[in-house]
Structure 1
Amino acid sequence: MSNNDELTLNLLILGQTGVGKSSLINALVGEYIEIFFNKDGIFPHQHEIDGKKVVIYDSWGLEVGKDEKWEKIINNALKEKGVDKDIKDWFHSVTYCIQAGGLKIQDFDIKMIKQFADEKYNIIIALTKSDQIGKAKREEFIEIIKKEVKKATKKDIMVITVSADPEQLDNMTEKPKPFGLEEYKAAILISWREIFINRIPLHIIEKLKKDIENAKYNAPREGKDKELSNKIQKHFSNILNTNIQKYVRESIEKYYNINVDILAASKNINLSNRKLDLNFYSELYGSGTIEFWTDFFSDLEYFEFVDRIKLILLVPLAIPMGILEFGIIKPLEFLMHIMEKGNKIETFINDVIREYFEKIGTEEFEDEIRKIIINNLNEIDKKIIKLN
């Protein structure tokens, strides 16, 4: 991941005591890590994976029988990494370790996993010490895990079989090699993309709610009833139209500032160390589609690859503004009725704000934002791969 300190990938790795979590972390970073915890909780420590800086969040092993304590610890951690916080502060990948030899996923495990699923996190189950059981039993256990987790969370999960430090048995002439680490690294990137897609709509909605609330202080308050109601509607509509584009673009820029060196590894690009000139965005705005600008700049030989990627991220995003028209703004007659009934401008403004809050808080609105995010990620991925 990016070596920019503000855009480091945050990996959370949890599991019960004795499941092989520490061995997995040591194998992941390629060295033995000795960490001393002075109290219960989840703690960050910086390392490198394949030469890229990451922050690994670790803890003492979770313990059955201390459910309430660990629920509280995890809830506090999730609150600190809430959807209202900046993307760089989130957990970007969440792994829950279960030991293969146990052949059972416990209620305690399900409870811990569900806490993250409820917060729109995409969890990886690392089936640790997978060398302890044969392939047939592993596959059977994986199906049990997937079934039990989906029953509790209504979500499909990834299960990765991994053996970070396999034991050498008496009948072996040499120590077996670890396996599953490369698949696990790939799962981390997939998980991060899914977390981004699932949480960003909620992140944007939280920001829009704050914008709408703040916008009431400079909402129009002068004019005839009919004229004023139109002005107030337009005032809040402009806030949403402008800021949805702004927040989607900013979020995608942060995502690719973390990921672009993975997508274009053969070019050895470190885009995140460059500063994006967001003022240039206004010059491009309205001049064409992502496809037009990408094709245009890909033909200019004197542009560095990184500069072309920057321009892809700066061009107008494919955001259908119809998203704001599916009932957020009530018919004028209804709004007039609110004004006549309350006969106070402030009451009217607060009622309009409440209507906006209700509409942008619906699953329909969240799903529309998610579609926009996915479509734009897919389009930009295609262009980056093409340029690479």
Structure 2
Amino acid sequence: MEKDFRLNIVTLGKTGVGKSSLLNYLFGTKFETGIGRPVTPADLIETDADINGHAVRVYDSWGIEADKLTEWNNLLKDKAEEHGAAKNPEEWFHAVVYCILAGGSRIEDCDANIISNFVNQGYKVTVAITKADQISEDDERNFKKAIFETIGKEKINVVSVCVGAKTRSGETKPFGRDELIDSILSSWVETVKNRISTATIERLYGHLDTFKSELNDLVDNYDISGRREGNDELAKLLETKIQAKMQELKTETVNEEAKDLLKRCYDIGYNLQSSFGEISLSKIHSPFKNFDSENNKNIGWWYTGYALTLGVMPLINSYAPKFIENQKDRIKGVIEQSICNCKNLLEKELLPMIQTEIEKLLEAKKN
């Protein structure tokens, strides 16, 4: 594990659920309570802490309020992007803890929506039922069942927690801390399984964006002509380059990126090491080596679209600056659409394959 690495944990919950008390109980660190905080969700508060001897960084939210839900969602969306799959694993949120006050027979829509948003980003969310000592075991069981049915049992962990408090009948003993810690640490493994494939595709998108800029530069420096034959040469050149780039991404780059991401996760995730043992990175390449050899023909639509764009143009003076600029803009528009379709192809065809192979690899190490 890298010396300076910290496990990034984001904690959320509505105002009054006892989140600050839970964090104090969990980490033994004094977290700021909601009293005196601004009423708008300006940012997440970062606090360095320790969990069983391992450094963590807690990203604590202001108490979520129903009348400011839009602001909250915008804040969380921005923060999720800052720590999204496109970043290196060291920068991800590695665990998400969402606090819900014990009681009731169902999870509220506001809570369910926020949890689902994180689930959809590849996180295994830990739902902490706070003040669980205040409900009966039957009510607790039914509440957990309702949460699982709403979100999906395989997508979340639900842990009942009590931080300890004075009651009329005496002092209540705290419980749930060890289970909550286990859930936080194990969720890192699930995050790896869920996000490696998405992160790989995001990196491939980055390669395509860079490639698009290179193609646009080529067009800018190309001697655009009013003759169909001369422009067809450019169309074929661009088509060939796009086909070659897609083949490179699918047979070489995907392996390089997946291997790098797995190695980073292995280096920083002590829980991943203990759960799966040493990962043999040399075996990552083979699953994708022969991917989609027939799909090169799917790029063929590109030349047709380009030919239609330029081929219907009459012979015009090749020295007309406005015509030349318009032609270059048209070509760049076709390139933009081409790159978009390439991204869609990668997501549709390659993403499920990477997900399957990563799961097989990690499960093999686990067993």
Q: TM > 0.5 between the two?
A: yes
- Inter-partner Cα distance in structure 2 for 1:225 and 1:133: 69
Q: Is the 8 A contact 1:253 1:313 kept in 2?
A: no
Residue deviations 1:190-225 (CA, integer Å, cap 9, x gap): 322222222332222121122133235379x99999
2:362 matched to which residue of 1? Answer: 377
- Inter-partner Cα distance in structure 2 for 1:52 and 1:376: 26
**AA of the residue aligned to 2:62:** W
- Note the residue ranges of structure 2 that are not aligned, 5 or more in a row: 223-231, 312-327
Distance 1:225 1:15, change over 3 A: closer
Distance 1:105 1:233, change over 3 A: closer
- Inter-partner Cα distance in structure 1 for 2:61 and 2:148: 25
2:260 matched to which residue of 1? Answer: 250
Q: Is the 8 A contact 1:318 1:376 kept in 2?
A: no
Please state how far the C-alpha of 1:115 moved relative to its aligned partner: 2.9
Please state how far the C-alpha of 1:27 moved relative to its aligned partner: 1.5
Query: Aligned to 1:238, what secondary structure does the other structure show?
Result: helix
Please state how far the C-alpha of 1:74 moved relative to its aligned partner: 1.7
Q: Is the 8 A contact 1:127 1:161 kept in 2?
A: yes
Distance 1:86 1:157, change over 3 A: same
Structure-to-structure mapping, 1:116-155, within 5 angstroms: 116-150=118-152
How many residues align? The count is 329
Q: Is the 8 A contact 1:329 1:355 kept in 2?
A: no
Is the aligned partner of 1:236 residue 2:246?
yes
Is the aligned partner of 1:86 residue 2:88?
yes
Q: Is the 8 A contact 2:46 2:60 kept in 1?
A: yes
- Inter-partner Cα distance in structure 2 for 1:70 and 1:351: 34
Q: Is the 8 A contact 1:8 1:55 kept in 2?
A: yes
Please state how far the C-alpha of 1:56 moved relative to its aligned partner: 0.6
**AA of the residue aligned to 1:57:** Y
- Inter-partner Cα distance in structure 2 for 1:323 and 1:155: 32
Please state how far the C-alpha of 1:45 moved relative to its aligned partner: 1.0
Q: TM-score, normalised by structure 2?
A: 0.76
1:162 matched to which residue of 2? Answer: 161
**AA of the residue aligned to 2:262:** I
- Inter-partner Cα distance in structure 2 for 1:145 and 1:47: 29
Residue deviations 1:285-333 (CA, integer Å, cap 9, x gap): xxxxxxxxxxxxxxxxxxxxxxx94xx4543415422663165411697
Please state how far the C-alpha of 1:256 moved relative to its aligned partner: 1.4
Q: Is the 8 A contact 1:10 1:56 kept in 2?
A: yes
Corresponding residue to 1:324 among 291, 298, 304: 291
Q: Which structure has the greater CA radius of gyration?
A: 2
1:204 matched to which residue of 2? Answer: 200
Is the aligned partner of 1:25 residue 2:23?
yes
**AA of the residue aligned to 2:30:** Y
Query: Aligned to 2:128, what secondary structure does the other structure show?
Result: strand
Query: Aligned to 2:291, what secondary structure does the other structure show?
Result: helix
Is the aligned partner of 1:359 residue 2:345?
yes
Please state how far the C-alpha of 1:29 moved relative to its aligned partner: 0.9
Structure-to-structure mapping, 1:181-200, within 5 angstroms: 181-200=177-196
**AA of the residue aligned to 1:15:** G
Is the aligned partner of 1:110 residue 2:108?
no
Please state how far the C-alpha of 1:42 moved relative to its aligned partner: 1.4
Query: Aligned to 1:91, what secondary structure does the other structure show?
Result: coil
Residue deviations 1:32-58 (CA, integer Å, cap 9, x gap): 334675663312111001111000111
**AA of the residue aligned to 1:89:** E
Query: Aligned to 1:61, what secondary structure does the other structure show?
Result: coil
**AA of the residue aligned to 2:357:** I
- Inter-partner Cα distance in structure 2 for 1:325 and 1:84: 24
Superposed CA RMSD in Å reads: 3.6
Query: Aligned to 1:13, what secondary structure does the other structure show?
Result: strand
- Inter-partner Cα distance in structure 1 for 2:45 and 2:238: 53
- Inter-partner Cα distance in structure 1 for 2:84 and 2:186: 20
Distance 1:342 1:70, change over 3 A: closer
Q: TM-score, normalised by structure 1?
A: 0.72
2:173 matched to which residue of 1? Answer: 177
Q: Is the 8 A contact 2:239 2:302 kept in 1?
A: yes
The percentage of aligned residue pairs carrying the same residue is 28
1:97 matched to which residue of 2? Answer: 99
